[in-house]
Structure 1
Amino acid sequence: MRDTQASKSRSLLYAAAAFLLLATCVSSQAKADVPTFTVGWSVYAGWNPYFYMQKSGILKKWADKYGIAIKVQRFDYAASLDAFVAKNIDACTMTNMEAFDLPAAAGVDSTAIIVGDYSNGNDAIIVRNGLTFDKLPGQKIMLVQKTVSEYLLERGMVLNGQQANLSKLKLINTSDSDIVAAFMNNKSNPVVVTWKPLVSQILADKSVHSIFDSSKIPGEILDLLVVRTEVLNRPDGSGQKFAKAVSGAWYETVAQLAAGQANAIKYSAGASGDSVESYKEQLKTTSLFATPKSAADFTTSPTIKQKMDLVRQFCFAHGLLGQGIKSADDVAIIYPDGSIQGKKDRVRLRFNATYMQAAQQGKL
């Protein structure tokens, strides 16, 4: 009798174990079937909110709404661009210039779905020993080459009458993760070009000062979220869901930031190891498009075309568009109104206001 009872107990235990195993397999398969997207971001006042967006659960809430999963991954800036071009991540925070001269120039068709802000003093040229623009030729200049730092440097030189001396500049390519220490610990490096919060850290040393910043060229250095167009246009529609989810999460996050919500400020500051006070100072020189309307209005205005034309001509002049490119028109840009800068069969960068407008209309 005891043997029969024991046999029944074992049978029940085996059945329960089998059921749990099956349930686990089904659950794992369900998770595997959820379309997953990865967004790369790097340290910058306008991009740190991606860290808070994930930390707060805002991103998960919006991803769940659309039945997808979204991860955010921090990189050094240049490494994030490399990962995007290599198709190791689906979307990436980057400036308008890098969107044009890296993925677009490499033939990676990309779409800017969020125009987040423009640098209004975040990027700066900083010098020692009272150097002025006419003294920069021949000096070692530390920066992340082929980025907006190089663009800012040239615009500063041109606007200060030094265009003829551009070829005499000595550029020292330095990672954004190393540039503060490399500049501050080596007094023989007299010039650095970088962005906040790195600018703020460097300017804490009163022996150096800024001679030019991005507030002198408003709207020229745009900060975007860029998605590979093939991801956006996936046949199963998951790419569209991603664009809607990340846009909804972004505008919920930015609304909190603009309202001064304590955790939004705290965690965005903490993303780069900054104090709340330092981060608030950075935001003062970041012209956030805090509402989807302001972002959509800028993206659909003639202004963005004017600014992008300056950028694309710079990229071509500096050979940043790759070998065999005979003009800036060989890498074309299309805007929300359908107008194209460049050759129609060479469109590689797209500005898409659809999701910003949907957020404005409350349709996400």
Structure 2
Amino acid sequence: MLNGIRKVGAAAALACALFVASCAPASEDATAPKTQFTIGWSIYAGWMPWPYAEQAGIVKKWGDKYGIEIDIVQVNDYVESVNQYTAGQLDGVTVANMDALTIPAAGGKDTTALIIGDYSNGNDGVLLKGTDNLAGIAGQQVNLVELSVSHYLLARALESADLAMTDVRTINTADADIAGAFTSPDVTAAVAWNPQLLTMKQEAGAHEVFSSADIPGEILDLLVVDTATLEANPNLGKALVGIWYETIALMQQDDEAGEAARAAMAQLAGTTPEMFEAQVATTHLYVEPAQAVAAATDPALIETMTRVRDFSFSQGLFGQGASSAEAVGMAFPGGKTLGDGNSITLRFDDSFMQMAADGEL
């Protein structure tokens, strides 16, 4: 089955990332031009175009166009992939917006969100047994991966029902264990992501009472790169964006070529075409670069990242040295900023996606 390892244990990830960064050998100068780059990915429906692009020769095609070599490397554990990026062992990585903020950016690594690929549009959900009313969650124990996007989704669900985090008790449950735990009669509330969510929905008496489809655009999946590396090597940005949109266009084709591409992605993910299609159906892909540019320049992105950073700070994910939610600075298109403008470490850059939209790659 397609592993649900996209969004796991952000607090532990931050601690681990800082440890890795402190112990890793010094990486090469990120400000120097170079011709070889490594991009890390982990299994998730919205990120499967990357390994397929390498398999299909699309990565080589765009690398050759710009005179560079790009290695698309699978990291079996999502957290480890982000840790490796934070430690300078990868030039870029696939990551969710919350984890981009709480791991590399909060750890001081200047990071650029080069591509906004998709948002979860039902891949994450809150389940209750015996009731289809979200208000029924009050007073319950909720199994989830604490300090992950599931925790954020729970906070947003409670907010929508005029409830607070103090109205429930969370039980930290690994993503590998949560589907099994939900089969127990004692577990009556849970938050999970696909593919576990699909399995858990089949449990007798289970009702999905809130999902990421209720907060469209808030759980984003990105490709981020080291800012200094991108500035020194703009051809990397051009090639990556070219690779992405060519592959996404192929994936969308309603013909044999498109079907074959999706089937290959499913195989790379270790799942069936049917399971892969089901997860893609609840993933809102920004198929056209202009759509991604619109998402990057929409004021709603700043509102989303404000919610994400406020939640992250409230859970201690910015580290002990952070005195407020303003501690980690973020930059957005149009010169807009959020947080400490003198310490910007997460940048949403629409310029390369705009080149794709304008046909300038």
How far apart in 2 are the matches of 1:55 and 1:150? 35
Change (3 A) 1:78 1:354: same
Bigger Rg, which one? 1
Q: Deviations over 1:29-55 (max 9, x none)?
A: xxxx97332222222221122221222
CA contact (8 A) 1:68 1:242 kept: no
TM-aligned CA deviation for residue 353 of structure 1: 0.7
Partner of 1:348: 345
Which aligned pairs between 1:141-290 and structure 2 lie closer than 5 A? 141-163=142-164, 166-167=165-166, 169-176=168-175, 178-183=176-181, 186-234=184-232, 237=233, 240-260=234-254, 261-290=258-287
TM-aligned CA deviation for residue 62 of structure 1: 1.5
Change (3 A) 1:154 1:36: same
TM-aligned CA deviation for residue 189 of structure 1: 3.6
TM-aligned CA deviation for residue 95 of structure 1: 1.4
Provide the secondary structure at the position in 2 that maps to 1:226.
strand
How far apart in 2 are the matches of 1:266 and 1:56? 13
TM-score, normalised relative to structure 2: 0.82
CA contact (8 A) 1:36 1:71 kept: no
Which aligned pairs between 1:1-364 and structure 2 lie closer than 5 A? 35-66=35-66, 67-130=68-131, 133-136=134-137, 139-163=140-164, 166-167=165-166, 169-176=168-175, 178-183=176-181, 186-234=184-232, 237=233, 240-260=234-254, 261-364=258-361
Change (3 A) 1:141 1:85: farther
| Residue identity matched to 2:342 | D
CA contact (8 A) 2:143 2:178 kept: no
| Residue identity matched to 1:171 | T
TM-aligned CA deviation for residue 197 of structure 1: 2.6
Change (3 A) 1:71 1:272: closer
How far apart in 1 are the matches of 2:266 and 2:207? 24
Change (3 A) 1:162 1:168: closer
TM-aligned CA deviation for residue 361 of structure 1: 1.5
| Residue identity matched to 1:318 | Q
Name stretches of at least 5 consecutive residues in structure 1 with no aligned partner: 1-32
How far apart in 2 are the matches of 1:61 and 1:265? 20
Partner of 1:7: none
RMSD: 2.3
Change (3 A) 1:201 1:264: farther
How far apart in 2 are the matches of 1:82 and 1:138? 36
- Name the % identity: 38
Provide the secondary structure at the position in 1 that maps to 2:330.
strand
CA contact (8 A) 1:60 1:70 kept: no
Partner of 1:12: none
Name stretches of at least 5 consecutive residues in structure 2 with no aligned partner: 1-32
| Residue identity matched to 1:179 | D
How far apart in 1 are the matches of 2:194 and 2:72? 25
Provide the secondary structure at the position in 1 that maps to 2:323.
coil
| Residue identity matched to 2:123 | N
TM-score, normalised relative to structure 1: 0.82
